[in-house]
Structure 1
Amino acid sequence: MTMDIKTYNMIAPEGLAVFPPAMYRINQTDKPDALLIRSQDMHKTHFGTSVLAIARAGAGVNNIPLVEASSNGTVVFNTPGSNANAVKELIVAMLVIATRPIFSSITWARKLNGADVSLQTEKGKNHFAGTELKGKTIGVIGLGAVGSRVARAAADMGMHVIGYDPYISVEHAWRLSNDIPRAGELAEVLRSSDYVTIHIPYTEKNKDLITAKELQQIKKGAILLNYSRWGIVNEDAVVAALDNGQIKQYVTDFSSSKFIKRDDVIVTPHIGGTTIEAEVCGAKMAAQTLRKYLETGNIVNSVNFPTVEMEFASALRLTLIHRNVPNMVGRITTILAQEEVNIDNMINRSRDQIAYTMIDVAAIPAEKLKNLQAALLAIPEVIRVRALQK
């Protein structure tokens, strides 16, 4: 069976090449089975209940209505870590730029003229003395794919690193050096750090994580970097902290009219993950995740559904998306028993209000399979039923 994929934004050709032409059509219908996107605002783009999955080539998913997607039985994927190295490298660059007057020195040097340019350079260079990162303390808020890399890079440059992440995964914890201490509370990081850099996802819980209250706790004269998401740092609080000298400089990837023409603010135009390599990596990772789900029903890197993986060893696989309520598995297996369908393998996982069940069975005649799917879908709490042939 051929599946239809619709893309939004510019998706790297290497990502689209993941879909075999014999099995997939790209951008040939307005009623696709799945979407592959980057920054498209899906809050304003109707995608309907027929879309099985949305894959976001990138980490942030605040451009996707997750509640609506879950209610429709649409699995939303992202690509955590696909642009992590790109963001890490930019953070290293911005740390140096914030510490050394690189831009002003280049501008000055371009204006030199005359035969004694070399002499002028030697005389003028002392006006552009900066400081070194080595020996300074950096607080890294969020120790996921990006934050853990930034922490290691900062340590490699001789900085003292303090990490803070109450939700760090075991995977990322293992990646961190034992030499990098982790604070128990945000205030500890703010009080101790010459530089504070933020690398956490945007959620309603994390909105305005850094407000006037937190900036009153920050070490006076610290430099604050936000290359995470807009909305995590309160802009009005930053302006006030800059005006009263509580922080020395604000460096961010998110533009705002409040920061225009301020010498103590450096704004880059949301380029944290904008490298050729990161875009290719994100597109390929999103496409591979999408293809795995469409062909096997296995779910990895979903932001609204549980991780569910099971070897596809039988002739037929049934996948059910349903509400996470008691006795659902019993009701599902009862219907299979009534239809005299033997279960070869089965897995059930839940996440918040949504649950996902995969059942592997032997081959079933087409008419019987149609009746079985209808019976399962008739359970009021079942949202979607799919039958996958191996």
Structure 2
Amino acid sequence: MKPKVYITRKVPAEIVTKIEDYCQVRMWDEADIPVPRAVLEEEIKDVEGLFCLLTENIDRELLGKAEQLKVISNMAVGYNNVDIKAAKEKGITVTNTPGVLTETTADLTFALLMAASRRLIESSDYLRSGNWKTWSPMQLTGQDIYGATLGIIGMGRIGASLAKRARGFDMDILYYNRSRKYDLEEELNLTFTEMDSLLKQSDFICIMTPYTPETKNLIGSRELSLMKNTAILINTARGGIVNEEALFHALKKGEIWAAGLDVFEQEPVSLDHPLLSLPNVVTLPHIGSASIKTRMKMADLAADNLLLVLQNQSPKHVVV
């Protein structure tokens, strides 16, 4: 008998077909609405495979209802939505999809940097609202990118790809990481520095580190106070890495110049969130990997990981 699989969000038909060749598939069919918790609790009871997204909270309570589950295939690089310890205790394999979204996320990060520094969204809104009556010397002026200093916190795959893009803008690149990357320092002309020094020197600070207990609120009031008042903070990693209340006050008081955010601590973000009220914040709905080609690669890799485990083979990317 084919193993049973539950897919928590509507994915492209070719991905479903690929899984159906080996499995019995049930799928939540609402494309833009997360599967309700009650539905997921019922569906997980008899499946051997779970194909899920970051939007699903796969916690200890939910895993306690899983009687047959062998694999959780997360269609994401991150996996903080899964209780890894609980999964390990139950002998459940957890997989993710790193690598395939590196370049796309680096593209988006640099685009967000440019949009925040040159006030692109604000300028577009200014024109569309009918406020553009004339040209004036300092109207909607922003910060230069070419030749500026970029500080990257977290020099993983995406951080390195971002640095390659920054080289084309002749930027000086500082980075902070738990361990030094000597090969990348030589290849990309990077300078390793402690985080406080990076914050003080950089014109742009890009957060590229994973979300862990150690990085929760990594950027708070103290760190923001170290930055230049012309500095721009970009976060395309995870929302909880930045203390959002502290960021709001720093932006409101002019302690830093602007921010570009693709992620929030609670997603979807509420429309009354204070950061959304500020003109010097560019906000996006977590679209770092949102190109058609990349999302298809992520779904395909998640399907491969799922099927390999169910066929008693090693998945391509295993978390635990």
**TM-score, length basis structure 2:** 0.82
Residue 166 in structure 1 maps to residue 178 in structure 2: yes
CA pair 210-64 structure 1, distance change in 2 beyond 3 A: same
Q: Work out the CA distance in 2 between the residues paired with 1:165 and 1:13.
A: 40
Residue 37 in structure 1 maps to residue 36 in structure 2: no
Match of 1:154 among 157, 166, 187: 166
- Cα contact 2:228–2:255 (8 A) shared by 1: yes
Residue 200 in structure 1 maps to residue 209 in structure 2: yes
- Cα contact 2:70–2:92 (8 A) shared by 1: yes
Match of 2:219 among 210, 223, 239: 210
- Cα distance per residue 1:211-251 (max 9 Å; x no partner): 22222222332111111112111112212322443211122
- Cα contact 2:174–2:191 (8 A) shared by 1: yes
- Cα contact 1:152–1:176 (8 A) shared by 2: no
- Cα contact 2:74–2:94 (8 A) shared by 1: yes
Q: Work out the CA distance in 2 between the residues paired with 1:102 and 1:125.
A: 17
Match of residue 140 from structure 1: 152
Q: Which has the larger radius of gyration?
A: 1
The structural deviation recorded for 1:125 is: 7.7
- 1:173-322 correspondence runs (5 A): 178-253=187-262, 254=264, 255=269, 257-303=273-319, 305=320
Residue 62 in structure 1 maps to residue 77 in structure 2: no
DSSP-derived class of the 1:162 partner: strand
- Cα contact 1:6–1:32 (8 A) shared by 2: yes
DSSP-derived class of the 1:18 partner: helix
- 1:68-107 correspondence runs (5 A): 68-107=86-125
Q: Work out the CA distance in 1 between the residues paired with 2:100 and 2:70.
A: 23
- Cα contact 1:15–1:285 (8 A) shared by 2: no
Match of residue 19 from structure 2: 19
CA pair 223-53 structure 1, distance change in 2 beyond 3 A: same
DSSP-derived class of the 2:302 partner: helix
Match for 1:295: what amino acid?
A: Q
Give the unaligned 5+ runs of structure 2. Answer: 28-42
DSSP-derived class of the 2:152 partner: strand
- Say which is worse superposed, 99-108 or 5-14, in terms of deviation: 99-108
DSSP-derived class of the 1:127 partner: coil
Residue 2 in structure 1 maps to residue 20 in structure 2: no
- 1:347-358 correspondence runs (5 A): none
**TM-score, length basis structure 1:** 0.68
The structural deviation recorded for 1:52 is: 0.4
The structural deviation recorded for 1:58 is: 0.8
CA pair 104-259 structure 1, distance change in 2 beyond 3 A: closer
**Higher RCO by CA contacts (8 Å cutoff, separation 6 or greater):** 2
Q: Work out the CA distance in 2 between the residues paired with 1:209 and 1:112.
A: 40
Match for 2:10: what amino acid?
A: M
The structural deviation recorded for 1:49 is: 4.0
CA pair 202-105 structure 1, distance change in 2 beyond 3 A: closer
CA pair 244-79 structure 1, distance change in 2 beyond 3 A: same
- Cα contact 1:12–1:279 (8 A) shared by 2: no
DSSP-derived class of the 1:26 partner: strand
- Cα contact 2:96–2:318 (8 A) shared by 1: yes
Q: Work out the CA distance in 1 between the residues paired with 2:15 and 2:95.
A: 15
- Cα contact 2:95–2:317 (8 A) shared by 1: yes
CA pair 20-26 structure 1, distance change in 2 beyond 3 A: closer
The structural deviation recorded for 1:82 is: 2.7
Q: Percent identity?
A: 27
Match for 2:308: what amino acid?
A: K
The structural deviation recorded for 1:126 is: 5.9
Q: Where is the strand percentage greater, Structure 1 or Structure 2?
A: 1
- Cα contact 2:152–2:174 (8 A) shared by 1: yes
Match for 2:106: what amino acid?
A: K
Match for 1:6: what amino acid?
A: Y
Residue 53 in structure 1 maps to residue 53 in structure 2: no
Match for 1:34: what amino acid?
A: G
Q: Work out the CA distance in 1 between the residues paired with 2:183 and 2:51.
A: 31
- Say which is worse superposed, 91-100 or 133-142, in terms of deviation: 91-100
Q: Work out the CA distance in 2 between the residues paired with 1:18 and 1:167.
A: 40
